[in-house]
Amino acid sequence: MSRLLHISASPRGAESISLGIATTFTEEYEATHPASPIDRFDLWDGTLPEFGPAAAAAKMTVFGGGTPEGEQAEAWAAAVRTFERFDAYDRYLFSVPMWNAGVPYKLKQFIDVVSQPAMVFGVHPETGYSHLLTGKRAAVIYTSAVWGPGVGPEFGRDFQSTYFDDWLRWAGITDVQEVRHHPTLTGSYEHERKRADERAREIARTF
């Protein structure tokens, strides 16, 4: 039985477009996968640990083959718990609004917390990275209000999907489907939202 985790990167609650499209997805998924549980990880709910000096030092200790102690051990344990929460699922739904051409900083924080050696990746001096999160699937909802495909650089650039898609594939998640909502300043919000909801339902049915 597959388990789906929805990771929400928007702090806007009911006003969030990405969260609204994600709700369309999860409602269709529930209707077509009644035996598959859905859980949600709101990255703004206060449970995401920091990855500061103690955690960074712990990571380097682990890289060197050592065992973190004291404050480092506590920070490392928090990162491990977050990774284990994430890794317990084989299906992921990410709702990702564009912030300043990229992703919200809480999503980057999540990536920095879980992207640890022997968890998300391995590395070899001759062969480079190995990707450890294989056999999983992801659906990603990308939204933006100003930037959109086909507009000029004066309306921004897309470092949102390029960065996040690269991280997914670096981690080993290569089965990735996208839902996009980019009405731009002159497009039709209603038309683009309808298309995004339809795409979300389409993916959810067979996810």
Instruction: Encode 150-202 in three state secondary structure.
Output: CCCHHHCCCCHHHHHHHHHHHHCCCEEEEEEECCCCCCCHHHHHHHHHHHHHH
- The answer, yes or no, to whether residue 1 has pLDDT greater than 90, is no
Q: How does the average pLDDT of the chain come out, rounded?
A: 97
Residue 54: which of 32, 78, 28 has the closest Cα? Answer: 78
- pLDDT tens, position by position, 128-143: 999 999 999 999 999 9
- The answer, yes or no, to whether residue 55 has pLDDT greater than 90, is yes
Cα separation values, 108 from 1, 112, 160, 171, 195, Å:
30, 6, 11, 14, 28
How many residues does the structure list for the chain?
A: 207
- Tell me the C-alpha distance between 195 and 76, whole Å: 42
- Which residue range(s) make up the domain with 35? 4-205
The count of domains in the chain is: 1
Distance separating the N- and C-terminal Cα atoms of the chain = 12
- pLDDT tens, position by position, 61-110: 999 999 999 999 999 999 999 999 999 999 999 999 999 999 999 999 99
- DSSP class per residue in 65-82: T----THHHHHHHHHHHH
Token pair, residue 156, equals 């921004």
State the pTM of this model. Answer: 0.96
Angle between helices 105-114 and 71-87 (to 10 degrees): 100
Whichever domain contains 178, its CATH number is 3.40.50.360
- pLDDT tens, position by position, 158-203: 999 999 999 999 999 999 999 999 999 999 999 999 999 999 999 9
